[in-house]
Amino acid sequence: MNSRQASPSPCDICGATQTLSLTIHNIRYRAHTCRYCTNCVLKQHPGLFCPLCFELHDDSPLPPHHRLMCVRCPAVAHRSCAFPSTNVSAAPAPAPPFFCPSCLDSNFTYFKLPDRKSGAVDVQSAKVLVTAARIAAVSMSKAAAAARYDAERRAREAAVARKRAKDALEHLAEILAREQAEQDEEDINEQNGIVSAGRRRGA
Ligand SMILES: [Zn+2]
Ligand SMILES: [Zn+2]
Ligand SMILES: [Zn+2]
C-alpha cells in the first residue's frame, strides 16, 4: 500500500492528522473547501448545533423559550438540555446566563479520542462525529447547489448573449436588405429617369 496516499492532509486549523479514530472532514467554509477535524468543524460552527446534546439545529429556528444563547459566542443550546428540570412548555422564566462548554473552558474539545486500551469511543464523541459529518455534508451539498446554480446562470447568460447576437445579425441583414431595396429602387428610378429624360430629349 502507498503510505503517502494513506496520509491525507491534516486539519487546516489545528493540524491534527487523520487516524482511525479521528476523522478529517472536507467542508465548505466561507466559499473555500477546507479540511477540518471533527473538533474544529464544531468549533467553527457554534450556531448550528446544541453544544450539550449535539443535535443539529434544522432550518426552522427554535422558539425563543426553547433556546438558550451563549453569553460569549453564537452557540445556541436547547433550554431543556441546559436545565432538564425546567418545564419548557410553561411560561418561560428568565434564564440564568448560559456559557457553552467551549466558552467555559478554552481547552474543551467536543471530540475525545477513544480510550487507547479499549479503543472505544464514548457516546458523546460518537454523537459529535455524526454532527460534524452532517455539518460537512450540508456545507458541501450547498456548495454543489451553488455551483449548479452558477452554471445554470452562466448557461442562461450565454443563451441570452447568443440570442442578442442572432437578433443583431438579423437586424443588420434587415438594414442591408432595406438599403439594397432602396438602392435598387433608386437605380430603377434613375434608369427610368434617364430613359424618360432621353425620351424627353428625343421628343
Ligand atoms: Zn482541527
Ligand atoms: Zn440539546
Ligand atoms: Zn460559547
Q: In angstroms, what is the span from residue 134 Cα to ligand 2's centroid?
A: 16
Least confident of 72-86, 126-140, 151-165, 187-201: 187-201
Q: Is 176 a residue whose pLDDT tops 70?
A: yes
pLDDT of residue 153: 93
Among residues 76, 75, 80, 74, the alpha carbon closest in space to that of 92 is found at: 80
Q: In angstroms, what is the span from residue 51 Cα to ligand 3's centroid?
A: 9
Cα 175 from Cα 159, distance rounded (Å): 24
Contact in structure between 42 and 18 (CB atoms under 8 Å): no
CA distances 134 to 62, 65, 74, 131, Å, are 19, 26, 19, 5
pLDDT, one tens digit per residue, over 41-59 is: 999 999 999 999 999 998 7
Cα 11 from Cα 123, distance rounded (Å): 23
pLDDT of residue 88: 54
Q: In angstroms, what is the span from residue 81 Cα to ligand 2's centroid?
A: 5
Mean pLDDT of the 95-100 span: 88
Mean pLDDT of the 153-169 span: 92
Percent residues over pLDDT 90 in the chain = 52
pLDDT of residue 17: 92
pLDDT of residue 199: 53
Mean pLDDT, all residues of the chain:
85
Q: Which residues surround ligand 2, an ion (CB under 5 A)?
A: 50, 52-53, 78, 81
pLDDT of residue 21: 80
Percent residues over pLDDT 70 in the chain = 88
